[in-house]
Structure 1
C-alpha cells in the first residue's frame, strides 16, 4: 500500500514541477479542493492521498531551492505520506531541474534492515541510493551495487572496507561524477529543509573520501555520507564548529544589513569580517580559503586578479570564503559560510578538495557543512 502511494505521489509531483518551471506554482499553489483530514484528528489539515487508502495521509508543500548553476532560485515540490500514528512513512521531492528524491522511513518499533532509504535520480536517469541504519550509511549505484559503507563515529565519518566496490577503473570517473552530483542533490534537499524530520538544530552535512591524484588532475574523491546531524554530533567531529558559529553571529551583529545597498555587498562585509578574525589567529590548521566560484555565483564576476588581491590583503572587495579546520585525525572540516543563496555544486566540491589538498597532507575525509548567521 505504501509503495503504491509513493508512486501516486510522485506522479502528482510531475505536474507540480511543470507549474514550477513556468513560475506558476506560487500563484496556482496545490489543489486545495483535494480532501483534507479534519482538524482535531491525527494529520488534521493535511491533504489526503485522494485514493481512499486507509491509515496514510499526504501533506504536499513547496520550498525554495537553489539551482545547480547558482544562477537563480529553483523550486522543489515535496509530498509527504504519514501513517495513522503520525509517523512519516515516505516522501517524494521533485526539483524543477528534473531531479527527484523518493524516501522511505521505517515504522516506529519495526526492525527492518534499514531506518531510511533515499533514492535520488537525475533527469538523465542516473540513480544512487542512500541507505541508513543506525549510524551506518551505504551508498549504492543504479544497479544496487555497493559503492561505499560509512560509519559515523565521534571523530566523524569512518569509511569501511568493502569486498568489491562498484567503482572499477574503466567507469570510475563518470560513475564517481554522477554519484557526487546525486549526493549533492540529497544534501541540497537537507540544507533547504525540503524533506525529512530534521528536528530542532539539525545540521546538514556531506562527507567525501579523499583519494590520491596525479599533479595537474582534479582531486579524486567520492561521497561517503549525506545526512543531518545534531549540533553536538557535528562538534564532536569538528571541534571548532561552535566557534565558527560564534564568528558568523558576531559578524551579523556587528554589521547592520540596512547600512549596505544590497544583500551581495552585505554578504561581502560578513565574509570579510570572518576572514579577518580567522587570519588574525595565525593557526595553520584553522584557515580561511578564498572561493572564486562562490564569489562569482553570489556577487558576479569581477576580474580574478582583483578578487585575489582583495582577499590577500583582507580588503572588503567582492569575496566569499570557506573556513578549513584540520582536525588532526585525517578529517578536514569545511565550513561553507552562507549569506546568499548559492548552492554546493560538483564544481564547488572540486574547488574545496583542491583547497584542502593545497593546505594539508594526509587527508582521508573532507566534511562539508553550511554555516549561516542566526541573526
Structure 2
C-alpha cells in the first residue's frame, strides 16, 4: 500500500495533468501514525491532491517552501550547465536553508516551530533539541525543512531538484523517525 501511494504521489508531482491534479492544487503524501493498544503499531497512508487552501490549514509553510525552492533553483540555474546534479541540488538546498534561517532570525515567534536542515536519529533525537546529535551525523536522517504544527502533527518538506521522487525507503524512514520526535519540539 505504501509503495502504491508513493508511486501515485511521484506521478502526481511529475505529471499532474495526467492524474487530474489542477493548477491550483498541491500534491501531498499524508501519513497518520498511531500505536494501537491491541493490534500494535499501525500506519495509514494516503496520497491526495489538496487545494492550496486545504494545505494552508495544516502545513502552512508549504507554499513558502515551494516558492523559496523555485527562487533558489532560478537563482542557481546557470550552475546547471557546468555543475553536477548533486552540486546543483546542494546549492539549492543551501539557499533554501539560508532563507529559512534568515526568516527565523527576523521573526522568531512566527518561525519558531520551523527547522531547516535538521538531522534526526532513529530514536527521535534531533540536532535541534539534543547536543549529541548534529547535522549530517552518521545514522541520522536529514530533513530539508521540518515544521511542527502541534503536539501530534508535523509537516516535512523534502526539497527536490531533479527527476527523482520519494522512494519507499526514504518515506518509511521519515515516518518511523519523526513519530519518535517529542511533541514539544519547537
TM category (shorter chain) comes to: 0.5 to 0.7
Query: How much does 1:361 deviate?
Result: 2.0
Match of 1:106 in 2: none
Give the number of equivalent residue pairs.
Answer: 155
Structure 1 distance, partners of 2:169, 2:53, is 30
Q: Is 1:202 aligned to 2:30, yes or no?
A: no
Contact between 1:275 and 1:321, CA under 8 Å: does it hold in 2? no
Query: How much does 1:321 deviate?
Result: 4.5
Residue in structure 1 matching 2:97, options 271, 275, 286: 275
Residue in structure 2 matching 1:288, options 82, 101, 116: 116
Q: Is 1:246 aligned to 2:67, yes or no?
A: yes
Specify every segment of 5 or more residues in structure 2 that has no aligned partner in the other structure, as ranges.
106-110, 121-134
Identify, as 1 or 2, the structure richer in helix: 2
Identify, as 1 or 2, the structure richer in strand: 1
In the TM superposition, what are the counterparts of 1:1-375 in structure 2 within 5 Å? 179-193=1-15, 195-212=18-35, 220=41, 222-258=43-79, 260-280=82-102, 281=104, 283-289=111-117, 308=136, 321-328=143-150, 330-361=152-183
Query: How much does 1:182 deviate?
Result: 2.0
Structure 1 distance, partners of 2:154, 2:65, is 14
Deviation string, structure 1 residues 316-365 (Cα, Å, up to 9, x no partner)? xxxx7421111126321111211012221221112212442354428xxx
Distance 1:266 1:321, change over 3 A: farther
Runs of 4+ more than 6 Å apart: none
Contact between 1:191 and 1:204, CA under 8 Å: does it hold in 2? yes
Structure showing greater radius of gyration is: 1
Match of 1:75 in 2: none
Specify every segment of 5 or more residues in structure 1 that has no aligned partner in the other structure, as ranges.
1-178, 214-219, 293-306, 310-319, 363-375
Deviation larger for 259-268 or 335-344: 259-268
Match of 1:366 in 2: none
Structure 2 distance, partners of 1:199, 1:346, is 25
Query: How much does 1:266 deviate?
Result: 1.1
Match of 1:176 in 2: none
Higher relative contact order (CA 8 A, sep 6+): 2
Structure 2 distance, partners of 1:239, 1:355, is 22
